[in-house]
Structure 1
């Protein structure tokens, strides 16, 4: 595996705790029916302090994001990057594009490097 692939795998595993599975359930919510099924709660994601090693259920404090808040950034970044474009595009152009797309919400011109997989 390349370093990019390792980073992508770590991102995939961490993101999998928070994203819905094939059954529409988020591992982070464990067996809490309200968070899994209630339409008013199911999209409000809590970033817990710890996670159950077997099922990914959130444990500990849920009011302080700490390191788990970085998962949302990883999801955002890896959704739009692929290794080939990262290697073939100048670093400054990638940074500018990422900031404009992800932070500024700006659409990018067609002649700029594509970051989408």
Structure 2
């Protein structure tokens, strides 16, 4: 695997903790049915301190996002750019565009 493919694989594994399966369960919620069935809790995503290595259930503090917040930001490059675009432009490929074709500086 090249570095792009490795990074995408790590991103996919991290974000899979927060995605629903066919029954509506998210691995990060463990075996708690409330988060899968309750209409008020099913869209609640908690960013735990750490996760169970076998089943992905969230453990530890859920009031601190810490490193798990990376799941929210690592998906953007891999779902908006193809590998060849990333290799050609690198970080500059993520530069937001506005005002027609004029590019805004990346801060």
TM range (shorter): 0.7 to 0.9
Structure with a larger share of its residues in helix: 1
Could you say which residue in structure 2 is the equivalent of 1:72? 72
Q: What is the CA RMSD across the aligned residues, in angstroms?
A: 2.3
Q: What is the count of residue pairs matched by the alignment?
A: 102
Give the secondary-structure state (helix, strand or coil) at the position aligned to 2:48: coil
Give per-residue Cα distances to partners, 1:58-101, cap 9 Å, x unaligned: 00000000000111101233221221111234753x2323xx5x
**TM-score, normalisation: structure 2:** 0.83
Matches of 1:30 and 1:16, distance apart in 2: 13
Matches of 2:10 and 2:91, distance apart in 1: 22
Q: What is the 5 A alignment of 1:11-26?
A: 11-26=11-26
**TM-score, normalisation: structure 1:** 0.76
Matches of 1:72 and 1:90, distance apart in 2: 20
Unaligned stretches of 5+ in structure 2? 102-107
Give the secondary-structure state (helix, strand or coil) at the position aligned to 2:17: helix
Matches of 1:86 and 1:53, distance apart in 2: 31
